[in-house]
């Protein structure tokens, strides 16, 4: 579970890049991500258990926490070296490409969905004002806040990023499903 969370955090990294994703970026990521994920899985026992309760569950915060956990565990330098060997500028670059590919994939998958930010915000308000037990209310709030964060992130995905990812949707779906099974 720790490796999955670390992978997720790295996958949905949030840093600003000036250029849009390219087909080359997607191909490079597809060729490298299996090895990068395997390394994270091999080292999951060295990473602390991730505590997401009562923390910022935004994509940006999850990424920052993931890289920080690699640093705290003394694994960052090795991960950075592996990212460079795979063809990236380093761990942050790999994570940024991962984040953008992941968000573009989710944006494409959600294009036909009718759920809006305002709908989730309204549901969140209802939960907060409800008479539910505090523990259940807190759990539901956390899930809804995470959903809001993802919807906001997906809303900002560029058309160019979606265009670069589009032809690789099936391959990406397979990669993401492999990661979810571990």
The answer as to whether 126 is a domain residue is no
The answer as to whether 145 is a domain residue is no
Question: Can you tell me the mean pLDDT for 93-119?
Answer: 85
pLDDT value of position 25: 95
The answer as to whether 135 is a domain residue is no
Question: Which range marks the domain in which residue 41 is found?
Answer: 2-111+158-181
**In percent, how much of the chain has pLDDT > 70?**
81
Please tell me what DSSP assigns to residue 18. Answer: S
Per-residue pLDDT band at 71 (split at 50, 70, 90): very high
- pLDDT tens column, 134-172: 999 888 988 888 888 778 888 889 999 999 999 999 999
As given in the structure block, the two tokens for residue 86 are 């795979």
Whether 57 shows a pLDDT value over 80: the answer reads no
The answer as to whether 131 is a domain residue is no
Task: Give Rg (Cα) of the chain.
Answer: 17
The answer as to whether 142 is a domain residue is no
Domain count, the chain: 1
Q: Is the pTM of this model over 0.85?
A: no
The answer as to whether 69 is a domain residue is yes
By CB neighbour count within 10 A (0-12 exposed, 13-18 middle, 19+ buried), where does 111 fall?
exposed
């Amino acid at each position: 579970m720790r490796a999955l969370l670390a992978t997720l955090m790295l996958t949905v990294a949030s840093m600003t890049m000036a250029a849009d994703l390219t087909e080359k970026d997607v191909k490079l990521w597809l060729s490298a991500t299996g090895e990068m994920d395997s390394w994270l899985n091999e080292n999951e026992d060295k990473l602390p258990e991730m505590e997401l309760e009562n923390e910022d569950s935004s994509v940006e915060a999850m990424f920052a926490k993931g890289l920080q956990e690699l640093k705290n565990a003394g694994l960052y330098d090795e991960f950075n070296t592996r990212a460079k060997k795979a063809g990236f500028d380093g761990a942050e670059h790999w994570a940024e490409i991962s984040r953008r590919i992941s968000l573009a994939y989710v944006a494409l998958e959600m294009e036909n969905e009718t759920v809006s930010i305002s709908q989730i915000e309204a549901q969140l308000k209802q939960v907060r004002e409800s008479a539910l037990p505090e523990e259940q209310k807190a759990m539901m709030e956390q899930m809804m806040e995470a959903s809001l964060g993802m919807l906001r992130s997906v809303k900002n995905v560029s058309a160019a990023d979606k265009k670069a990812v589009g032809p690789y949707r099936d391959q990406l779906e397979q990669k993401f499903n492999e990661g979810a099974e571990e």
